[in-house]
Structure 1
Amino acid sequence: MDFQLKTLSLAQAATEKADALIVLSASSDDGATSPIATLLAQARETDDLPAKAGKLLQLYRPAGVAASRVVLVSVGDGSPASVRTAVSAGVQAVKPGNPKRVVIVFAQSVDASALRQAMFAAADATYVYTTTKPKAEARTVRQLVLGVPEAATLDAAFRESSATVAGIEFAKEWGNRPANHCTPTLLAEAANALTELPRIRCEVLGPKEVAKLGMDSFAAVAQGSAEPLRFIVLRYQGAGKDDAPVVLVGKGITFDTGGVSLKPAAEMDEMKFDMCGAASVLGVFRALAECKPAINVVGLIPSCENMNDGAALKPGDVVTSMSGQTIEVLNTDAEGRLILCDALSYAKRFEPAVVIDIATLTGACVVALGGVRSGLFSTDDTLAAALETAGEQSQDRCWRLPLDEDYAEGLKSNFADVANIAGRAGGAITAAKFLQRFAGDFPWAHLDIAGTAWKSGAAKGSTGRPVGLLMAYLMNRAAPAGVAPAAPAAPRKRKVR
């Protein structure tokens, strides 16, 4: 799908040739005279277009409008969240007609935040997974034009949003792949393919290199699978060599049976999504290569399967982490923290400015926050506040949970330095407390995305979260204080693959 940004008034939008025209209207429009403005005024007067965000009125070949189908959609108060709701509703309304060129025009002024959400919503509504489906079912919308009162003022936001959409869709595509199409080896190949893009390097370590590093905790999780583990190291160089990088660590369990602590059969297929933390890191690097911000970023992805055979890790086994700390494995289904702890220890060698790990870590976080917000834990208030701000900016929200030392009591072990689980109470917090033991040398944050990384039911599929949050955080960090991130040199028209 091509995104295009264009200066369009309502009068100009009426002459745009398109399969569908979506008009985003606030409850108080500017009163301009044009066929579309007249339609809006009449719809408001007759209460056919309520002011609530997402309410809409569909029209077929209205007089004076070139587009065959027109959808008038309310954006309520015009907030970014309301714009996202409105665009999603509008695009869903026109999708049954299989439009190839869709124009979305704002009937009032629009800021960068609203434009960003319009693009995210349109991309999300038109995304179609294709890797293992017939090509005939690919997305039908080929070009999406965003009409705004003055395109030049929103050019930088448009470019950044286009890149972020590309990253989100990359993360979605890999998150949605079934486990036999997304092994650790294939995930490593996907990471390595990103080196064809600007400023990205990749190194892939296998079982021998991981053993040599002393990552016995990571290796122990992989030992029950026929698929060899991979430790992926991505680097994006956008700033000087001496600038400390932001390190992103993504959990890459490409399938999780639970190991000997076997999961129930129902919905076990969704455990292919247990690598969505890794997918989000890949998505960020896909976006960084397009945005080219002045920042250094390292991505670390420990990837393996959690399977059963005669060599599989057993409850009660004690393993030694890269840090030298021993871990009593009381539950083999708490494997994510066992691979992340070694990746966090590895992160220290980069002398990072901050480290953020992203993981589908605990069902307890789903119970606590549902699918609305990701769980946020951090040892650094400044980092936590920056991530919360980025979450609000991107509408990819998170919620900070505590790290009181009292929560670590349940992780005590008679046979090792630490156990890998505590009791049921506060499970998301005790998991974070486990990881905190391996992140004492740098500012650290943990994002538990177990509730937000994918949807179940009829809408089953990866969400691409938290690529939006992470990109907003990185772009904010790359920009000088008080200055918006600079736009990279590139044509305004962007293609999202």
Structure 2
Amino acid sequence: MTLQFALSPEHPDTIASPCVVVGLYQGGKLTPAAALLDAASGGAISRVTASGDATGKAGTSTVLFGLAGIASPRVLLVGLGDAAKCDVATFQRAAGEAGRALKAMPIASAHTTLTEAEIPGHDLAWKLRALALATDAQAYRYRATFKPKSEAEPAQLATLSLAAADDATARTALTQARAIAEGVRFARELGNLPPNICNPAHVAAQAQRIAQQHAGVDVEVLEREDMAKLGMGALLGVAQGSANAPKLIVLQWRGGGDARPYALVGKGITFDSGGISLKPGAGREEMKFDMCGAAGVLGAFLAAVELKLPLNLVCVVPAVENMPGGNSYRPSDILTSMSGLTIEVLNTDAEGRLILCDALTYVQKFDPQVIIDAATLTGACVVALGKHASGLMTRDDELAAQLLAAGERTHDRAWRLPLWDDYQSQLETGFADLANIGGKYGGAITAGCFLSRFTNGRRWAHLDIAGTAWIDGRKGSATGRPVPLLVQYLLDRCG
């Protein structure tokens, strides 16, 4: 459940909270709240910094217990690094560390004063939202497939109060934080579920649940027969090897009158075995995350609806499982897409673009003013950009600038890759209009070039989130990206 957020201007030495969070810079410099607590406790914080037990290094934290003169039983000192160099990245790191430390405590609520940190170019509203989102991200716990515990569990963080006056600007910031946090949690939970639960039918059921719980939302789920009538041969080709039927999920929010909608399209491969081009065994279990593009656009849609944004929004999710079987599509098969373009399959593990191309053709029936797709599309993007930035491809410079700015504001960053026609020749084949892979070089870009063939000159951008959608490892987790970026982009369109 998403954290509850509140605003409190109360002094940190008198607030009745199980834990008060204050900032500490390197060199022993205290934030105003930390200085106030230091004075109230007779220099207890100064003694800890003088001893070297709390250094102020960015991303570190120290818990102090039972300080005399302070109402809270715990004080959490969080390092903010060099005061002269405290930037967005440092602040995000400190906010994340504070959230991690609070999650480990047996407490249900806490109060943070990290809003005092000076971040060049960023106001209090930005800091409130960033702190709230970072804390909620750390507080998230996946429990859906664990055995329920019979004994009572320790208290878990449920409420965070933030040091700020209760005014309209601050309330708006926290309203946005709540909605984005809910969208991120939705995307993370859907991404983390195992594929025997989170199959195409389950994704469709979650979309229907959004519609049932929110007035003004319409949902339609197209079945295999519907897609066959529309000529979605690329999407159905990927789906034909699985016992789980594909779904094409369409959500609409009409908050903008007669205006043309914005469109979000998300890749929903609920498990990607690679098909006949079977993936290697190592890391194959992480292919449940191959639907994180779908989870991300659904989470962004949910946040937009929670905020009742004054715009029209359509969200299209092709949900499919890519499995080997007696009826699987094969390398060298020719598929006919909804657009009429034929595609030679050279690798059945390049399936995401095949389901997306039909979804991109389909979404144009709504005459959207902008189309943005999000997909865990290529390992090549991870090689190019690592795990920190999503790959952004578009021919529209203005749209690129808007999306990059939204990513910077939310620290859900993207990096633009070229979408030059020079790369298109790599998709040529002697047997169809185009091939589904472009060779060993520039794989992320040629995947974007493939998708561009199905956009018909529309304003369109592609986000390759293969490196950012989840954290690797047996205890890894879906991140919920690119929900913050997408919601910020939509907020910016509302002025």
When normalised by structure 1's length, the TM-score is: 0.91
Distance 1:359 1:32 in 2: 44
- Corresponding residue to 2:360 among 340, 344, 367: 344
2:74 maps to 1:69: yes
Identify the residue that residue 222 of structure 1 maps to in structure 2.
239
- Is 1:133 aligned with 2:146? yes
Conserved in 1, the CA contact under 8 Å of 2:20 and 2:75? yes
The match for 1:52 is: 57
Deviation string for 1:442-465 (max 9, x for gaps)? 101000000000011254110000
Residue 34 of structure 1 corresponds to 36
Residue 198 of structure 1 pairs with residue 215 of structure 2 = yes
Q: Secondary structure at the match of 2:196?
A: helix
Aligned to 1:117: 130
Structure 1 residue 31: Cα displacement: 8.2
d(CA) in 2 for partners of 1:7, 1:117: 17
Aligned partners of 2:153, 2:336: CA distance in 1, in Å?
47
* 1:120 Cα deviation after fit: 1.6
Q: C-alpha separation between the residues in 2 aligned to 1:447 and 1:223?
A: 26
TM-score (norm 2): 0.91
C-alpha displacement at 1:92, in angstroms? 2.4
1:277 to 280, 293, 298: 293
- CA displacement at 1:81 relative to structure 2: 2.7
1:237 partnered with 2:254: yes
Q: Is the 8 A contact 1:377 1:432 kept in 2?
A: yes
Q: Indicate conservation of the 8 Å contact 2:130/2:410, yes or no.
A: yes
Percent of matched pairs sharing the same residue: 44
RCO comparison, higher one (Cα < 8 Å, 6+): 1
Greater Cα offset, 71-80 or 161-170: 71-80
CA drift of 1:397 comes to 0.3
Distance 1:331 1:138 in 2: 48
User: Which residue matches 2:116?
Assistant: 108
Q: Distance in 2 between matches of 1:477 and 1:84?
A: 25
Q: SS where residue 225 of structure 2 aligns?
A: helix
Check whether the contact 1:24–1:107 (CA below 8 A) recurs between aligned residues.
no
Counterparts of 1:243 and 1:39 in 2: how far apart (Å)? 60
CA distance in 2, matches of 1:419, 1:169: 37
**Displacement after TM superposition at 1:409 (Å):** 1.2
1:471 matches 2:487: yes
Bigger mean CA offset, 388-397 vs 291-300: 291-300
Q: Structure 1, unaligned stretches of length 5 or more?
A: 480-497
Alpha-carbon displacement from aligned partner over 1:241-278 (angstroms, at most 9, x marks no partner): x2111100000000111000000112111110000000
Question: Could you tell me which of 293, 316, 321 is aligned with 2:332?
Answer: 316
Answer whether contact 1:225 1:307 (CA < 8 A) is retained.
yes
Q: CA deviation at 1:478?
A: 1.3
Q: RMSD between aligned alpha carbons?
A: 2.0
Are 2:82 and 1:82 aligned?
no
2:159 maps to a residue whose letter is L
Shift of 1:379: 1.5
SS at match of 1:179: coil
Number of the residue aligned with 1:183: 199
Of residues 347, 361, 370, the one that matches 1:354 is 370
Match of 2:177?
Answer: 161
Q: Which amino acid aligns with 1:147?
A: L
Structure 2 gaps, min length 5: 118-122
Distance 2:4 2:55 in 1: 29
Q: What is the count of residue pairs matched by the alignment?
A: 476
- Does the CA contact (< 8 Å) of 2:33 and 2:113 recur in 1? no
